[in-house]
């Protein structure tokens, strides 16, 4: 789980990048609170071979990354 | 996977065209837009500094913020937030401004200067890229100015409201303000037209997330070239526009002129242009975006970016009050003062300290 709420891009992408690099997880949950971060994390995750589903969670976005 | 992001290209094209139009309508040469210069002019018109040639209430700054704000409200992306190291951001904003003013242009004007054939901007671009690279080294190790928090909506409207009121006052009671009668500050497109054009650009830049720093940063860190398309589009449109329209002598647009010598509002001190923009690039990476992006984010309700903008305005005042800004038109040896050189070098020390202090615990060992 990466909780990147409150962080502005590119920090959330870096957080996801670090999580992917260290553990290479099959699935990863990412929380962000800006539409622009959803876009940026999705672009990064797709390039890293993950499928992304996004759901709204109040004011936040919950992203499920799966390989 | 190398899909071209056309929103970014469109935003870049519109920025380029808008800059050409604004220069044609009276803005200084190669300065259709310059976030650093225009915030400096606003600092001047408010009397925060006394450089008589750079004082004017630039409607472009107001328009960019308001356009971004309207677009963010329409798209449901307006969100008041803040609390991510505001004092540090103020300081970073000031340093970015001081670095940019030594070179004489924000990253956007650097691209516009290049597009106009001003090769002095080329070494500045190399410095800028190096500054960004250094910044990304810290980002990769987990640098952040810590998280922000959702705040009352009013926080998000502070900068837009301040600019709106300042602009309205300027139109209604101009005698309150200092207005240049010569020099770059006296050269400007008609107020309301510039405001409108900038609002369109602000709205598009909000959609495209356009950022002069983000392009190189994302390319270096993630091999993500999305934002670089905007950078390239601005450059190409400017070159073509200057060749075509400038060659035809449209409006006050100066023609494309390739070279180092006698470029408008510029100097040829390459070492300090390089170092000035390296400082601006590094500082902007720590802030999360270039001066233009800080304006757009302020329009989206980001109070931290608004603080950075206030910091840049303060930095502009410091620049001119202490003789740090580069001298346009001066010989290379005289263009950058000793004060400026000392401050730039101290600026690097401050950026290094901020970069190291804000790494997560244990990151230094990991690195």
Whole-number Å distance between alpha carbons of A67 and B233: 35
User: How do residues B46-86 score in pLDDT, each as one tens digit?
Assistant: 999 999 999 999 999 999 999 999 999 999 999 999 999 99
Unique residue bearing structure tokens 């990769």: B140
User: In B141-268, which ranges are continuous DSSP H helix?
Assistant: 153-172, 191-208, 212-222, 226-241, 247-248
**For residue B1, what pLDDT is reported?**
45
Q: What's residue B367's pLDDT?
A: 45
Segments in chain B forming alpha helices (H): 6-24, 35-45, 59-74, 86-103, 107-115, 120-140, 153-172, 191-208, 212-222, 226-241, 247-248, 270-287, 291-299, 303-321, 332-335, 338-357, 363-366
**Which residues on chain A are in Cβ contact (under 8 Å) with B81?**
6, 33
* Chain B touched by A62 (CB under 8 Å): no
The full set of domains in chain A, from first to last, is: 2-66 (3.30.110.40)
Contacts of B88 in chain A (CB under 8 A): none
- Average pLDDT per 10 consecutive residues for chain B, totaling 367 residues: 81 97 95 96 98 98 98 96 97 98 97 96 97 97 96 97 98 98 97 98 97 95 93 96 84 91 94 98 98 98 98 98 95 95 98 97 59
Task: Quickly count: other Cβ atoms within 10 Å of residue B251's Cβ.
Answer: 16
Chain B residues near residue A43 by CB distance under 8 angstroms: 222, 224, 226
Largest CA distance in chain B: 60
Dump pLDDT digits (tens) for A19-56: 998 888 999 999 999 999 999 999 999 999 999 999 99
For residue B72 the two structure tokens come to: 């963010």
pLDDT of residue B361: 84
- Return the number of CB contacts < 8 Å for A and B: 56
Note whether B298 contacts A: Cβ–Cβ < 8 A.
no
Query: How close is the nearest chain A Cα to the Cα of B208, in Å?
Result: 10
Given an 8 Å threshold on Cβ–Cβ distance, is A6 in contact with B81? Answer: yes
Sign of CA dihedral B13, B17, B22, B27: positive
Structural domain boundaries of chain B? 6-366
Q: Does residue A41 belong to the interface with chain B, where contact is any CB pair within 8 Å? A: no
| Minimum Cα–Cα distance from A8: chain B residue | B288
Mutate to test the interface with A, among B2, B143, B144, B307 (most CBs of A within 10 A): B144
Rounded Cα gap, residues B113 and B108, in angstroms? 9
Cβ contact A11–B226 (<8 Å): no
* Distance from C-alpha of B157 to C-alpha of B300, rounded to nearest angstrom: 9
- Determine the distance in angstroms separating the CA of A15 from the nearest CA of chain B, rounded to an integer: 8
Q: Given CB atoms, is A6 within the 8 Å cutoff of chain B?
A: yes
Q: For chain B, say whether A21 makes contact (Cβ under 8 Å).
A: no
| Cα-to-chain-centroid distance, residue B324 | 17
By the 8 A CB rule, do B306 and B152 touch? no
pLDDT for B79-121, tens place per residue? 999 999 999 999 999 999 999 999 999 999 999 999 999 999 9
């Amino acid at each position: 789980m990466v909780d990147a709420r409150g962080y502005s891009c590119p920090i959330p992408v870096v957080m996801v990048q670090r999580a992917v690099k260290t553990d290479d997880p099959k699935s990863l949950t990412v929380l962000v609170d800006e539409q622009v971060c959803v876009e940026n994390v999705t672009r990064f995750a797709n390039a890293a071979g993950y499928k992304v589903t996004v759901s709204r969670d109040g004011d936040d976005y919950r992203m499920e990354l799966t390989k | 996977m190398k899909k071209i992001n056309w929103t970014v290209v469109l935003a870049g094209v519109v920025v380029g065209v808008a800059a050409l139009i604004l220069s044609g309508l009276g803005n200084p040469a190669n300065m259709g837009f310059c976030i650093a210069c225009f915030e400096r002019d606003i600092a001047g018109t408010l009397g925060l500094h006394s450089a008589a040639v750079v004082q004017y209430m630039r409607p472009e700054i107001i328009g960019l913020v308001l356009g971004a704000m309207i677009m963010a409200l329409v798209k449901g992306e307006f969100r008041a937030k803040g609390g991510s190291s505001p004092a540090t951001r103020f300081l970073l904003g000031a340093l970015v401004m001081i670095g940019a003013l030594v070179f004489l242009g924000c990253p956007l004007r650097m691209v516009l200067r290049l597009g106009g054939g001003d090769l002095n901007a080329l070494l500045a671009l190399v410095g800028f890229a190096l500054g960004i690279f250094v910044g990304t080294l810290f980002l990769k190790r987990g640098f952040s100015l810590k998280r922000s928090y959702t705040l009352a909506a009013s926080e998000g409207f502070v900068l837009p409201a301040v600019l709106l009121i300042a602009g309205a006052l300027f139109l209604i009671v101009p005698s309150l303000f200092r207005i240049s009668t010569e020099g770059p500050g006296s050269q400007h497109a008609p107020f309301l037209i510039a405001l409108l054009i900038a609002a369109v650009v602000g709205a598009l830049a909000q959609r495209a997330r356009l950022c002069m720093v983000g392009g190189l940063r994302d390319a270096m860190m993630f091999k993500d070239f999305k934002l670089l398309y905007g950078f390239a589009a601005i450059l190409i449109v400017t070159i073509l526009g200057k060749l075509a329209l400038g060659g035809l002598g449209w409006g006050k647009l100066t023609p494309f002129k390739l070279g180092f010598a006698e470029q408008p509002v510029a100097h040829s001190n390459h070492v300090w242009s390089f170092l000035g923009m390296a400082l601006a690039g590094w500082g902007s990476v720590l802030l999360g975006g270039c001066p233009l992006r800080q304006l757009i984010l302020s329009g989206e309700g980001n109070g931290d970016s608004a603080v950075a903008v206030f910091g840049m305005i303060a930095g502009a005042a410091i620049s001119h009050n202490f003789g740090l800004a580069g001298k346009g038109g001066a010989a290379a040896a005289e263009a950058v003062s000793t004060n400026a050189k000392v401050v730039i070098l101290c600026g690097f020390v401050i950026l290094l300290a901020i970069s190291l202090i804000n790494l997560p615990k244990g990151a230094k060992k990991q690195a």
